Structure 1
Amino acid sequence: MNFEEYSGVWVFIEENEGNIAQVSLELLGAGRRLADKRGVDLCGVIIGNGVTLLSETVFEYGADVVYVYDQEIFTHYRTESFMKALLHCSEKYKPEIILYGATSTGKDLASAVATDLPTGLTADTTELDVEEDTGLLLASRPAFGGNIMATILCKKYRPQMATVRPKVMKALSPEPGRTGKLVEETIDVKEEDIRTKVLEIVKSTTKKVRIDEADIVVAGGKGLGNADGFQLIHQLAQALGGAVGASRDVVEAGWVEHPHQVGQTGVTVTPKIYFAIGISGAIQHLVGMKNSGLIIAINKDPDAAIFEASHYGIVGDAFEIVPLLIQEFSKAFAEEEVDHVREV
């Protein structure tokens, strides 16, 4: 392949009902850094119906160019239609790098595009960098069960593609009024050409656990012994008004359901405060919480790896320490509530 034909860092902008997914804004931040290092444009690609105005937000978050496919055929996400649009755009403008959020939509689209383009795909990336001279994308992710970090390279083909986990990159602060080049594209795709049909949209009424949106996460590991011991995590979370998190071992043991799992095969969280209680600190867990604002670890083992990733560490028995924390936090919040009532 003639690599000189390929230029630019692209971000697939995922949207739903007119709202841009947060991971896409995060990827614009990461893409801006890569594009600046290479001295090329950062581009966003928006596919949908009635989505052209979203380009204003994409420019504000760092894009130089936005490609928009705004057609009725793209009202709902379907692999085939979106793949045709992205392939059309990629083959016409030849990007060097394409980044997607590692969401159900992003992973589905990226893998489909990779089957048609002569290139590969690095999935669930947690770190990104680029060689300034060669443009070689350095996409790193946990491998071998999370025991090592592997950097995946695509030396012979372009574009280079990666899906990136939500919450591991940071969005830039938006720059109101920032503009760029808007490129409006269309493709000739008819409804009868698409094999998948959207018959009905059914929104779930089940309350979902969203620990990735919590300001405080209290996570527990196998060091709590059993499901009864894990109840301390629920109690501390309740006292703090936080969410319950867990390590993979705890979920596999059936102490708590999978939506609470933090880590490589679970959820990535970035709360203001993260408690890691009875958690050893394996790499696959660390990648899911290392960007938390304040990390507090409690573990009996003074050599536990979790302490290396923590801002504060308490060496001791969780069954002695956590009840004291619950008692003190409950007392502090009760006093605060009384003071508030007095002020009123």
Structure 2
Amino acid sequence: MPTALITGITGQDGLYLSELLSSKGYRVYGLVRGQNNPKAAALAVTHPFVEILTGNLLDLSSLVRAINAAAPDEVYNLGAVSFVAYSWQNARLTTDVTGGGVLNILEAVRFYQDSTGKQVRFYQASSSEMFGKVQEVPQRENTLLWPRSPYGVAKVYGHYMTVNYRESYGMHASSGILFNHESPRRGPEFVTRKVTQAVARISLGIQKDIALGNLDAQRDWGFAGDYVEAMWLMLQQPGADDYVISTGTTQSIRSLLDIAFDEVGIDDWEPHVRIDPQFFRPAEVDLLVGDSTKAATVLGWKPKVGFDELIRMMVRNDVDQQSKLAAG
């Protein structure tokens, strides 16, 4: 039975990845930060097959203990301070966790390999936010990185540290440069879930409108359930490498609003949307679209769920959730 350790296990990607690995016969360990973490209690209920270990990406010794306890064949580092807007408010914490945490987990894996002689395959969750002020459209694995947020800068650090450990120590360390990927499990602070949750509440008469920033920003949005399969495929290859994971198409916030409101039967969404300057980024990333040809060719990976289907899935989930909450 192969064994995997996942950091960031309670996030949307961690939940989908743990389900995928379990379905493939893996023994799955999840790293959770802190004692009496409410997310750990929820995880134990929804994903009882996950064996929970405590640790913190800021604490190398805790990572060493977790890896020794799990004795993993594969480590997936999904843990990060991942909300871009928050990274301007807390640049230091974002840098320490999202950047420095990668170094810590790489070191812990290296120590384990040196002491046991067992090779561990490592996955690093890199991000399309590393491209920032894009220098090429679409963006590929070799496109110049120009991050435009503290989060993006921290992700660049973690990305290149992963490359460095692969080249310096011969580690099987791969990075997935994932473009935006969403699901009903996405946190409500992210714009897709913020919209679908608000649309559900508006359709039920619970909420009147939603405040947003730049409606013309465009992103390459896919389904998280598809993207975690790409993570797993990377670690099944004989050699480690970096891969862009994307749909290759872009949608604007306006398109997101069109589909979300249409799902609940509202044709004109403009009366329900107001622009609030606080939601504009200090440095905007206007157009991100990825070229995942390498992933298709080498991994045999392609996205299955389209944008329209994804947003409607999220809206239906939120209508169901909000209806239950309203009913008490």
Question: TM-score scaled to structure 1, two decimals?
Answer: 0.37
Structure number with larger C-alpha Rg = 1
Structure ranking higher on relative contact order (CA contacts 8 Å, 6+ apart): 2
Which is richer in helix?
2
Provide TM-score, normalisation by structure 2: 0.39
**Higher strand proportion (structure 1 or 2):** 1
